Amino acid sequence: MNFGRFGKIASVSLIGAMLLAGCSGNGQTVMKIGDNNITEGAVNFFANYGMGTEDVDAAVDNLKKEYLLKEVAKAMDITLTDDEAKQVKSTISNFKAQQGGKKAGDKLLKKYGVDDDIMETIISASTYSKQIMDQLDVAEPTDDEVKQYFVDNYLRAKHILIATKDMTTGADLDEDKLAEAEKKANEILERAKNGEDFDALIKEYNEDPGMESNQDGYFFTDGEMVSEFEDATKSIEPGEITMCKSDYGYHIIKRLPIDESDSKFSEYLENNKSAVQSAVTSKKQEEALEKKAEELGIKVEVNQDKIDKMVIQPKDTPEPTTEAEPTTEAK
């Protein structure tokens, strides 16, 4: 079973950038970058249609990056080529087509406080990224930086899954079986906390087949596991045991240390070095971008209280297509 969620995006895709919605109206402002007010509606729109996530902070972080790219590009006189501008318009048209046509797309955008002018401005931000980063000359990460990032940002854990769904069909268990699953999970949690061998309990009770190929535990970082599993692991120290419930079932979790002297540490890092290097590069680029924005006098104001209270609203269901789909060529 794959407990992976949508990972945090280091560089937002073109369609993702389109959804940045530097919205005016539709909800309270949660962040201001330069003269751009980013509202709750913008964050909801981007989270749903740009990232596919319920993580408010991830959506806000990526919106912040895209707006900074836009403002820094403007200050550095970086502009789009004709082909790039045409691609922006094409992407907007295609997005609306996916929502059921132009009218349906416009209706959806209006709900979130987005219009074509805003979309055309913001979607170009990701296109500016390479030119900006080339001028900022961000150094490649060193091996020591990669290793330190891994230690600082990754978690390691084993777990015992007691499923609340049929493992074959994915259907929810009936009430009696759900009650049995809860009782069993609590009993296993108590036994584990009382010192029974965790690996033996995994072998006897675990219903996650993924643990068979990860007997030394899962290594993961933000956004790679369901949020309940990630949050529960973060809430305890290495060696401690806790339990959480997700859509998959009950997870009895034992957090493990990230030990640089452990051969499994080196093995995992070597096998995933490219991904970790990309994450370090992205972090360094974001730091350089923020530093440049500060040098240029671009102000960033974040209302963290409002962000902390936000909940991503469910995504709208696209309307049936009633219009002829536009061509991908910009008009």
How many domains does the chain contain in total?
A: 2
Checking if the pLDDT of 231 tops 80, the result is yes
The HSE-up count of residue 125 (CA atoms within 13 Å, CB side) is 28
Residue with tokens 């993580």: 55
**Dist. CA 127–CA 85, nearest whole Å:** 10
pLDDT band at residue 322 using 50, 70 and 90 as cut-offs: low
pTM exceeds cut of 0.95: no
**Dist. CA 49–CA 54, nearest whole Å:** 11
pLDDT band at residue 312 using 50, 70 and 90 as cut-offs: confident
- Tell me which residue of 177, 143, 155 sits closest to 273, measured CA to CA: 143
- Tell me which residue of 80, 67, 81, 154 sits closest to 118, measured CA to CA: 67
Instruction: Kindly state the average pLDDT of the residues 143-164.
Output: 95
In a domain, 147, yes or no: no
pLDDT band at residue 146 using 50, 70 and 90 as cut-offs: very high
Whether residue 177 sits in one domain with residue 134: no
CATH of the domain at 134: 1.10.4030
Q: Which residues contact 189 (CB under 8 A, 6 or more apart)?
A: 241, 243, 252
Whether residue 171 sits in one domain with residue 27: no
DSSP SS3 for 309:
helix
Instruction: Kindly state the average pLDDT of the residues 214-224.
Output: 91
**Dist. CA 285–CA 283, nearest whole Å:** 5
Range of the domain at 22: 14-140+275-309
Query: Is pLDDT larger for residue 301 or for residue 113?
Result: 301
